[in-house]
Amino acid sequence: MLKLMGLGILSGVFFSATFVLNEAMSAAGGHWLWSASLRYGFVIIFLTLFLLIRSGVSYLREMTRLLLDYKSFWIITGTIGFGFFYLFLCYSADHTPGWIISATWQFTLVAALIIFGLLGKSSHPLVWVFAIVIFSGVVLVNLSHLHTMTSDQLIYGAVPVLIAAFCYPLGNQILWEAKYGTHKRIPHIKSRLLNDVFAKIWLLSVGTLPLWLILIAVVQPQQPSVGQLTSTAIVALLSGVIATGLFIMARNKAANTTEIAAVDATQAFEILFVIIGGYVLLDSELPNVVSSVGVLLIVIGLGLFMKYQKLEPKPKIPTDKMI
């Protein structure tokens, strides 16, 4: 499991660019909808070029056939796991600092455990204890700033992040179930493409396109600036391609709910990276004492996952089929 958590932590380094650059784009007046939609537009472009060079035109044709064969699956899963997740994160960046968003985002671990239960999967009782430690840290981080936040900032800043915290693990778990055929209501997609993390990111990203087209037509945001285009391209590469690739790779190598939850928990390290990046690049405020205790609890929760990494027996899924 340590290797999986190492991949998760490394992905957190690249994911942290999302929170810092989204805060910067918001401060510069960039519209949240362009920050969200352009990221996936660039991801599709980058991955199409990469996969074309790496695997050729025939591979792209195979991906397109799989997309069309299960178009409803990719649109629904992509919209939930990629579209809604990032839409709400970008929207919240207009209302609260990036490091607070990053801290609140750690609620995703608790959300993942709830999703496991809804999908009929059980988790070791200690996993819930570790999750509660992390959640307590999230609560402290937000409580420490209640006196400086208006009700609008709380509703439009924190609530969207909590919604995103459910969307991301739900989308990823649906994909995991589809790969291994472990849920009767989710189609079992038997394709070698699900062994390629970049093919899966491409398929999910293309699945978000209907969402962005509808929202752009309804919201009609002002045109993005050159700076926003550049920033979203950087976010797309660092977070959308590299970080997401590492994270999905680690998550899909996980063979039981404890290992999946442990990989999800590694995202707690994002807080440290976002605090440092925000302070150095944006002159953002540093956490106060209560917030620091909250951040410490989040990191401790992750440490507990690492210490008790053998809570569940080794899985039933053949390791040679994992990605």
Spatial CA neighbour of 208 closest among 70, 75, 56, 52: 75
User: CA 94, CA 74: separation in Å to the nearest integer?
Assistant: 29
Q: What is the per-residue pLDDT for 16? A: 75
**Cβ partners under 8 Å of residue 208, min gap 6:** 40, 78, 79, 82, 83
Q: What percent of the chain has pLDDT over 70?
A: 82
Summarize the confidence of residues 206-214 as an average pLDDT: 97
CB distance 76 to 211 below 8 Å = no
CA distances from 57 to 63, 66, 287 (A): 10, 14, 50
Q: What is the per-residue pLDDT for 279? A: 64
What average pLDDT is seen over the chain? Answer: 82
CB distance 264 to 251 below 8 Å = yes
Q: Which amino acid is at 224?
A: P
Q: What is the per-residue pLDDT for 209? A: 97
User: The tokens of 135 are what?
Assistant: 């959640």
User: CA 152, CA 167: separation in Å to the nearest integer?
Assistant: 22
Q: What is the per-residue pLDDT for 280? A: 66
Q: pLDDT tens across 150-187, in order?
A: 677 677 888 899 899 999 889 988 998 898 888 888 99
CA angle, corner 139, sides to 97 and 262, nearest 5? 95
Higher pLDDT, 101 or 231: 231
Spatial CA neighbour of 297 closest among 273, 265, 275, 274: 265
Higher pLDDT, 283 or 200: 200
Higher pLDDT, 294 or 79: 79
Q: What is the pTM of this model?
A: 0.80
CB distance 258 to 25 below 8 Å = no
CB distance 30 to 269 below 8 Å = no
User: CA 24, CA 39: separation in Å to the nearest integer?
Assistant: 15
User: CA 267, CA 254: separation in Å to the nearest integer?
Assistant: 15
Q: What is the per-residue pLDDT for 36? A: 92
| 128-140 residues labelled b (16+ CB within 10 A) or e (exposed) | eebbebbbbbbeb
Spatial CA neighbour of 278 closest among 149, 160, 101, 152: 101
Q: What is the per-residue pLDDT for 317? A: 44
Q: Where are the alpha helices (DSSP H) in the chain?
A: 2-27, 32-55, 57-69, 71-78, 85-92, 98-105, 108-118, 125-143, 151-153, 159-180, 197-207, 209-219, 226-235, 244-253, 257-265, 270-282, 289-307
Q: pLDDT tens across 125-150, in order?
A: 887 888 788 778 877 876 776 666 66
Highest mean pLDDT among 62-66, 108-112, 301-305, 306-310: 62-66
Q: What is the per-residue pLDDT for 287? A: 67
Q: What is the per-residue pLDDT for 274? A: 67
User: CA 22, CA 235: separation in Å to the nearest integer?
Assistant: 9
